[in-house]
A and B are shown apart, each in its own frame.
Chain A
Amino acid sequence: MSDHHHPHDRPPNPYHQSARSPERDRELAERVAKLESLLAEKGLVDPKALDRLVEIYEHDLGPMNGAKVVARAWVDPEFKRRLLENATAAVAELGFGGLQGEHLVAVENTPKVHNVVVCTLCSCYPWPVLGLPPGWYKDAAYRSRVVIDPRGVLAEFGTTLDDDVEVRVWDSSAEVRYLVIPERPPGTEHMSEEQLAALVTRDAMIGVAKVAAP
């Protein structure tokens, strides 16, 4: 479904990031530069540490990590069992973990159960396996409505579910982070683990989409 689709009974979102403008951006850039130099001068932050953080979250962490976890679960039933039992430990086997992934839980989609993850109160998200969340995950529209109208929100992502499928919405209200294991699509029986990982999308691991057949 295109970004321009609006259900006719709802107004377009007036709170979208149209608040951005070049002027506002310049103003913020100045404010933030002042703040950083103050915090550095006072010994509260080390600018080199900030550089490293940006590097890690912009380049090292992202959904490619979670995709490897999902692909492993698809090809290795023993790994999948461990993942469902203790996701933090299972994900660590692949070298992933740490900040915002200290307490991971994996939930599995099946033909009869579809899981989708949200944080209604802020923006909690499993950083070590998915990286930083997309804007829509942190916006009011998704956070407010996916708990009360999950099927409507999923439809906006082009995901329609049969009536007999149970939708489970996981609201990340504590320090536990949820990762959806999507269903392995048909026609992938002969694909390698690496090829499978390339099919797995961020949206499928949040639970707003399914993994498309190749």
Chain B
Amino acid sequence: MNGIHDMGGLTCFGPVRREPDEPVFHSDWERRVFAMNLAGMAFLGPVDRARHAIERMDPAEYLTTPYYEHWLAAIVTMAKDLGYLTDEELRTGRAAGGKTPPHPPPTADMIEALVRSGMPATRTDGRNEPRFRVGDRVRARNLDIPGHTRLARYVRGKVGVVTMHHGSHVFPDTVAHDRGENAQPLYNVRFEAKELWGDNVARRDCVHIDLWEDYLEPAGETRSAP
């Protein structure tokens, strides 16, 4: 989906604004939203579904609301999509039946264990044999992807060089939509600034971005590693 969240390369937002002595959270509701989002992943996840729920926010609202309102929107959207909550329940604050989760929610100890162990995105049950090697020239495919994707618009159609092979990772475009993990090789690709932005930018600079194999196609001759 070509959404407002995909903002790499826009220059219309003015200078970066920093908040001196910024606290981790500004209000208690931010704390609860942050924690509900993480703990709720047991039933509402995976993370790419949460990201896509944010991407589906009204774009004007996306730009004008503080960050944790995005996470709030994600919890509500996912819980409604999955049939756990209704608008009526959200309005009244009173549960009115509906779907119940298949097992009890994670306890504090289970959550702490999850924070410590993490949730690796690497898999061995998908496509493991990399099609590209470090040093290969690749083109990011120019695709119109209707749902969730991590193929940022600013690299589509551009040519770069593979700098790392990260192993096979869960594919966001399908896992976000319950179409399977489809793990496949993930690469880091270096794009020169002038390839991305034009001839009048600093030529020495570059952007490195992680791209899944299905986002890439060969771009002619290979050259040695940069």
Contacts and interface: CB of A to CB of B under 8 A. Distances in A.
Interface stretch (A66-74, A167-175, A183-191, A193-201): A167-175
A13 B13 contact: yes
A99 B119 CA distance: 6
Contact of A174 (B38, B84, B100, B169): B169
A166 B204 contact: yes
A98 B118 contact: yes
B121 A175 contact: yes
A interface bracket (residues with beta carbon within 8 Å of B): 35 or more
Given A15-B63, A35-B75, A44-B105, A169 B17 contact: no
B27 to A, nearest CB: 6
Given A19-B65, A121-B5, A135-B67, A174 B212 contact: yes
Given A32-B32, A99-B119, A136-B16, A121 B150 contact: yes
Interface string B60-74: 000111110100100
B35 A50 contact: yes
Contacts of A163: 202, 204
A16 B65 CA distance: 9
A177 B75 CA distance: 24
Interface of B: 5-20, 22, 24-29, 31-36, 38-40, 42-44, 51, 54, 63-67, 69, 72, 75-76, 79, 84-85, 89-90, 93-95, 98, 100-101, 104-108, 110-112, 114-122, 150, 152, 154, 164, 166, 169-170, 172, 186, 188, 190, 196-197, 201-202, 204-212
Given A53-B34, A136-B17, 8 more contacts: A15-B64, A29-B27, A33-B29, A39-B85, A57-B24, A171-B152, A172-B210, A173-B210
